Chain A
Amino acid sequence: MVASLTRRFGDLDLAEEAAAEAFAAAVERWPADGVPPNPGAWLTTTANRRAIDRIRRESKRGDKHQEAQMLYDDDPPEPLGAVDDERLRLIFTCCHPALAMETRVALTLRMVGGLTVPEIARAFLVQETAMGQRITRAKAKIKAARIPYRVPSAEDLPARISGVLAVLFLVFNEGYLATGPDSDPVRQDLTAEAIRLTRLIRALLPDDGEVAGLLALMLLIEARRTARVSSSGELVTLSEQDRGTWDAALIGEGHQLVRERLAARVAPGRYQILAAINAVHTSARDVRDTDWSQVVALYDQLVQLDRSPIIALNRAIAVAELDGPQVALAAVDGLEDKLAGYHAYHAARADLLRRLGRSQQSRAAYDKAIELAGNTAETAYLTRRRDQLG
């Protein structure tokens, strides 16, 4: 309902308040008057009236023409199929490129995900007032700059979808990183929220390959959640995880999506390739059964699309399994100037140096990784590996 009100009045704040007032009125009136025959229409009509009243009260010199348009827009209540279109419009608006990434994330979680401001603030370790302001300013910008409330045109759609997926993946990663004993449970709920929203996008855009790819990727990562952290709160790497605890249903669904995309015979985007890599890993009953040449081949495809040094690093880690740690170390060392501040870079180096028997250098690399790691589960893991060097 907020979505359809936003469409009519172009103002997220107004839509939210009008919806809240309509619900409050229902709570007040229905016990006494009885539930109306069409409650949805009653709520929508009431909310529309409240919004119009508010516009009338607040409109000073104002855009009289615009006001008149809104007052005389006599749409019948939306048929149910159109609700999906409204939600799609809302998602694209919240993820508009004119808004900063952190703003898009906050706005999407608030308006589409329905999380409260305190919940979002806790999830991103930001002060509640700051998060509230971020959202308020975003709504003000949408209104003042007239960010249009619509699904983008066909030519703009690919870029805009990729923007939405980036927001959802960011939300997922925030939740995914919240492993460990002292992380707020709300943060863990973020992965569930990200998956829920991605499922929604997939239902609305069932033919888009990257949407399917992102959903598959999220499912295949989420399937391994319980195996990722030990009872003592330490990170458990892929090679050490108890694969029996992986969620078979999520893996099945993820594999199904990956197969579907392969069958589509369309050049895969980033998320589809990452999903395929995860599918190779989750197909192996034991880490020793992993088809590493497939993994490397998929990374070779991925680096064509994404020149990020982190992708190059992950590729090198896979190469170590095929061509040995020496070759991999040479590739990793080449990324020094780009990844010197990234803990996983030093962790990867430390592991390769350990396998080459260069214990002192390995220890130094572990120290660096521990210094840079931000997550308690990861720190515990790195500390143990370093101490095992002897």
Chain B
Amino acid sequence: MQYLFSVIDDTAGLATPEEMAAIDVFNDRLQAEGHWVFAGGLGAPIAATVIDNRGEATLFTDGPFVESKEHVAGFWIIEAADLDVALKLAAEGSKACNRKVEVRPFL
């Protein structure tokens, strides 16, 4: 079963060298144990664009979809047998990247 780990950030900064090193170690472990599906860091919210093409004309909005202090800074997609496994991995991930992590199951 797949889960999305969203890294929640409320700072403008990127990961420090120590955090990057810890993230690398964590990523290696995910791959070695067969949990890794995909992961990546995201560009800052100022680099975002929102598209709304539900109506007549396509609307482009500069910036993130919601203006808030907290935003998603990166994510992991992992494979885990159940939520207990996912939560243990997310705990390590949160420690490694030094931020809060939201765990959500895929449908």
Query: How far does the alpha carbon of A42 sit from the alpha carbon of B105 in the complex, in Å?
Result: 36
Q: Which of A17-25, A118-126, A143-151 contacts B (4 or more CB under 8 A)?
A: A143-151
Specify which chain A residues have a CB less than 8 angstroms from the CB of B1 in the assembled complex.
146
Inter-subunit contact A146/B105 (CB<8 Å): yes
Inter-subunit contact B87/A98 (CB<8 Å): yes
Closest chain B residue to A160 by CB distance? B84
Using a Cβ–Cβ cut-off of 8 Å, how many residues does chain A contribute to the interface with B?
10
B28 at the interface (CB under 8 A from A): no
Specify which chain B residues have a CB less than 8 angstroms from the CB of A145 in the assembled complex.
83, 103-105
Specify which chain A residues have a CB less than 8 angstroms from the CB of B87 in the assembled complex.
97-98
Interface string of B13-25 (1 = CB under 8 A from A): 0000000000000
Binding site secondary structure of chain A: loop
Inter-subunit contact B105/A144 (CB<8 Å): yes
Question: Chain B interface residue count: which class?
Answer: 10 to 19
| Max chain B C-beta neighbours (<10 A), residue from A98, A146, A152 | A146
Binding site secondary structure of chain B: mixed
B62 at the interface (CB under 8 A from A): no
Interface string of A92-115 (1 = CB under 8 A from B): 000011100000000000000000
Cβ distance B84 to chain A, nearest Cβ, rounded Å: 5
Query: How far does the alpha carbon of A152 sit from the alpha carbon of B84 in the complex, in Å?
Result: 9
Specify which chain B residues have a CB less than 8 angstroms from the CB of A98 in the assembled complex.
83, 87
Interface string of B21-39 (1 = CB under 8 A from A): 0000000000000000000
Query: How far does the alpha carbon of A134 sit from the alpha carbon of B36 in the complex, in Å?
Result: 33
Specify which chain A residues have a CB less than 8 angstroms from the CB of B82 in the assembled complex.
146-148
Closest chain A residue to B88 by CB distance? A156
Closest chain A residue to B87 by CB distance? A98
Specify which chain A residues have a CB less than 8 angstroms from the CB of B81 in the assembled complex.
148
Specify which chain A residues have a CB less than 8 angstroms from the CB of B103 in the assembled complex.
145
Interface string of B79-107 (1 = CB under 8 A from A): 00111100100000000000000011101
Query: How far does the alpha carbon of A156 sit from the alpha carbon of B84 in the complex, in Å?
Result: 10
Cβ distance A196 to chain B, nearest Cβ, rounded Å: 28
Q: Which residues of B contact A (CB under 8 A)?
A: 1, 81-84, 87, 103-105, 107
Q: Which residues of A contact B (CB under 8 A)?
A: 96-98, 144-148, 152, 156
Told that A144-B107, A146-B105 touch, could you supply 10 new A-B pairs with CB distance under 8 A?
A: A97-B87, A145-B83, A145-B103, A145-B104, A146-B83, A147-B84, A148-B81, A148-B83, A148-B84, A156-B84
Top 10 A-B pairs, shortest CB-CB distance: A148-B82, A145-B105, A146-B82, A145-B83, A147-B83, A146-B83, A144-B105, A146-B1, A148-B84, A98-B83
